[in-house]
Amino acid sequence: MTLQFPAPVAGYFAADKTDVDELVRCFAADAVVRDEGRTYNGLAAIRKWKEGTSTKYQYTSEPLACTEAAGRVVVTSRLTGNFPGSPIDLRFFFKLAGDRIASLEITS
Protein backbone atom coordinates (compact mmCIF):
# COMPACT_ATOMS: atom_id res chain seq x y z
CA MET A 1 0.00 0.00 0.00
CA THR A 2 1.29 3.47 -0.91
CA LEU A 3 1.09 6.15 1.77
CA GLN A 4 -0.50 9.48 0.87
CA PHE A 5 1.31 12.60 2.13
CA PRO A 6 0.58 16.32 1.76
CA ALA A 7 2.89 17.75 -0.92
CA PRO A 8 5.41 19.42 1.46
CA VAL A 9 5.78 16.20 3.48
CA ALA A 10 6.19 14.09 0.34
CA GLY A 11 8.80 16.59 -0.86
CA TYR A 12 10.65 16.36 2.45
CA PHE A 13 10.96 12.57 2.34
CA ALA A 14 11.90 12.53 -1.36
CA ALA A 15 14.61 15.18 -0.87
CA ASP A 16 15.90 13.64 2.37
CA LYS A 17 17.44 10.86 0.32
CA THR A 18 19.54 12.99 -2.00
CA ASP A 19 19.15 16.77 -2.08
CA VAL A 20 19.68 19.20 0.82
CA ASP A 21 18.73 22.21 -1.33
CA GLU A 22 15.41 20.65 -2.28
CA LEU A 23 14.75 19.62 1.32
CA VAL A 24 15.32 23.18 2.57
CA ARG A 25 12.86 24.47 -0.07
CA CYS A 26 10.13 22.42 1.63
CA PHE A 27 10.27 24.76 4.67
CA ALA A 28 8.78 28.20 5.28
CA ALA A 29 11.32 31.01 5.80
CA ASP A 30 10.65 31.14 9.55
CA ALA A 31 10.32 27.36 10.04
CA VAL A 32 11.53 25.56 13.16
CA VAL A 33 13.02 22.04 13.41
CA ARG A 34 13.45 20.17 16.69
CA ASP A 35 15.68 17.08 16.57
CA GLU A 36 17.93 15.29 19.05
CA GLY A 37 17.17 17.82 21.79
CA ARG A 38 18.13 20.86 19.69
CA THR A 39 16.09 23.55 17.96
CA TYR A 40 16.91 25.06 14.56
CA ASN A 41 15.21 28.34 13.59
CA GLY A 42 15.05 29.57 9.98
CA LEU A 43 16.29 28.21 6.69
CA ALA A 44 20.03 28.74 7.30
CA ALA A 45 19.88 26.79 10.57
CA ILE A 46 17.76 24.06 8.98
CA ARG A 47 20.28 23.73 6.14
CA LYS A 48 23.15 23.45 8.66
CA TRP A 49 21.21 20.83 10.66
CA LYS A 50 20.52 18.72 7.58
CA GLU A 51 24.06 19.01 6.20
CA GLY A 52 25.45 17.99 9.61
CA THR A 53 23.11 15.02 9.91
CA SER A 54 23.86 13.88 6.35
CA THR A 55 27.60 14.11 6.96
CA LYS A 56 27.49 12.37 10.34
CA TYR A 57 25.17 9.51 9.40
CA GLN A 58 24.38 7.44 6.34
CA TYR A 59 20.82 6.13 6.58
CA THR A 60 17.68 5.20 4.76
CA SER A 61 14.23 6.32 5.84
CA GLU A 62 11.18 4.17 5.15
CA PRO A 63 7.86 5.85 6.03
CA LEU A 64 5.52 3.28 7.56
CA ALA A 65 2.43 5.31 8.52
CA CYS A 66 0.92 8.75 8.06
CA THR A 67 -1.88 10.23 10.19
CA GLU A 68 -3.19 13.64 11.17
CA ALA A 69 -3.55 14.70 14.81
CA ALA A 70 -3.98 18.08 16.51
CA GLY A 71 -3.37 19.98 13.28
CA ARG A 72 -0.16 18.13 12.48
CA VAL A 73 0.80 15.46 9.99
CA VAL A 74 2.44 12.60 11.89
CA VAL A 75 4.69 10.21 9.96
CA THR A 76 6.25 7.14 11.51
CA SER A 77 9.39 6.16 9.62
CA ARG A 78 11.99 3.44 10.13
CA LEU A 79 15.55 4.75 9.91
CA THR A 80 18.30 2.24 9.26
CA GLY A 81 21.95 3.24 9.10
CA ASN A 82 25.29 3.72 10.81
CA PHE A 83 24.04 5.36 14.01
CA PRO A 84 23.59 4.01 17.55
CA GLY A 85 20.31 2.15 17.98
CA SER A 86 19.79 1.42 14.28
CA PRO A 87 17.22 0.57 13.11
CA ILE A 88 14.80 2.86 14.92
CA ASP A 89 11.24 3.98 14.31
CA LEU A 90 10.97 7.76 14.57
CA ARG A 91 7.92 10.00 14.55
CA PHE A 92 7.98 13.15 12.43
CA PHE A 93 5.45 15.80 13.50
CA PHE A 94 4.92 18.28 10.65
CA LYS A 95 2.93 21.49 11.01
CA LEU A 96 2.14 22.97 7.61
CA ALA A 97 1.61 26.54 6.46
CA GLY A 98 0.14 26.42 2.97
CA ASP A 99 2.58 24.59 0.71
CA ARG A 100 5.50 24.72 3.16
CA ILE A 101 6.53 23.08 6.43
CA ALA A 102 6.20 25.55 9.33
CA SER A 103 7.64 23.20 11.93
CA LEU A 104 9.03 19.70 12.26
CA GLU A 105 9.68 17.79 15.46
CA ILE A 106 11.40 14.40 15.30
CA THR A 107 11.03 12.04 18.27
CA SER A 108 11.56 8.37 19.03
Partners of 32 in beta bridges: 41, 103
Q: How far is CA 3 from CA 6, 57, 67, 108, in A?
A: 10, 25, 10, 20
Q: What is the CA radius of gyration of the chain?
A: 13
**What structural domains and CATH numbers belong to the chain?**
7-107 (3.10.450.50)
pTM of the model: 0.95
pLDDT at 1: 57
DSSP helix/strand/coil, 31: strand
Q: Going residue by residue through the chain (108 aa), what tens digit of pLDDT does each one get?
A: 578 999 999 999 999 988 999 999 999 999 999 999 999 999 999 999 999 988 888 999 999 999 999 999 999 999 999 988 999 999 999 999 999 999 999 999
pLDDT at 101: 98
